Amino acid sequence: MNYIKEFKAAAAQSRKLGLSEIAVGETATVLDQAVLNALEETGHIPFRQRAVQGLNVNFGMFHMLAKKFHIPGGVLTMGNVAMDGEMRFPVTPAHFRKMVENESGEDALGTYHLWTTLPGGFILDHVLPSILAGDGLIEVDEAMPAERYLYGPADELPHGITYHPMVAGLEFLIASGTVDREAMEYLMGEKFPKQYGG
């Protein structure tokens, strides 16, 4: 199954959880290398620490992409990631449903991965290289900004990496009790339905 098809299934799963309609544009948004480098330079969490601060790093980069660099159409996406077919996180769509039902998302951090999906099925992830380098699976030259993140078409990534979205959108983080609604509204400058974190 290709990434866009999996993303559409994740969007359907998000609707089943009572979250808003989420879609990603079919026409690719290709980011300029200067924007990617500038985004990377805004990150304040050292490369090696990113592996254990996935939410802070990838949500922070998503926020900067949308609010500082004004790149439209990105969707914060949650799910699993595989390398050479081996899944890295012990999570299924049922886990996300339970996180919403029990508002246990804060306790479940680290059981799933999150990243930004850009139009056309491009991935932007500032955490996975730190995880894989820490596990000795890839080598990263930390002096090279472009090696500290993963960016490209989801179906053409290096190292046998594949992303498997299961839910999508900021509302999941609110509905699951991971991030307070008022804090999200402050950060993103938009209103979210009162039923989340209300």
What is the value of pTM for the model shown? 0.93
Q: Is the pLDDT of residue 197 over 80?
A: no
At residue 198 the predicted structure's pLDDT band, cuts being 50, 70 and 90, is: very low
Q: Write the DSSP symbol of residue 185.
A: H
In the chain, what percentage of residues exceed pLDDT 70?
Answer: 97
Q: What is the mean pLDDT of residues 99-126?
A: 93
Alpha carbon distance 81, 47 (integer Å): 19
b/e burial code for range 127-159 (CB count within 10 A of at least 16 → b): bbbbbbbbeebbebeeeebebbbbbbebeebee
pLDDT at 94: 94
Nearest to 162 by CA among 119, 127, 128: 128
**The amino acid at 44:** H
In this structure, are residues 105 and 177 in contact, taking their beta carbons and an 8 Å threshold? yes
Q: How far apart are CA 133 and CA 141, in angstroms?
A: 10
At 145-164, the pLDDT tens digits run 889 999 999 999 999 999 99
Within 8 A by CB and 6+ apart from 1, the residues are none
At 59-77, the pLDDT tens digits run: 999 999 999 999 989 999 9
How high is the pLDDT of residue 183?
86
The second-level CATH assignment, the architecture, of 3-16+28-188 is Roll (3.10)
pLDDT level of residue 21 (50, 70, 90 thresholds): confident
Contacts (Cβ under 8 Å, ≥6 apart) of 73 = 24, 25, 29, 118, 119
Report the length, in residues, of the chain: 198
Dist CA 38 CA 62 (whole Å): 13
pLDDT at 110: 87
Q: Give me the residue spans of the domains in the chain.
A: 3-16+28-188
Q: pLDDT band at residue 1, thresholds of 50, 70 and 90? A: low
Q: Is the pLDDT of residue 32 over 80?
A: yes
Q: What percent of the chain has pLDDT over 90?
A: 70
- The pLDDT, as a whole number, for residue 65 is 93
Burial of 64 (0-12, 13-18, 19+ CB in 10 A): middle
Please give the Cα distance from 119 to 35 (Å, whole number): 16
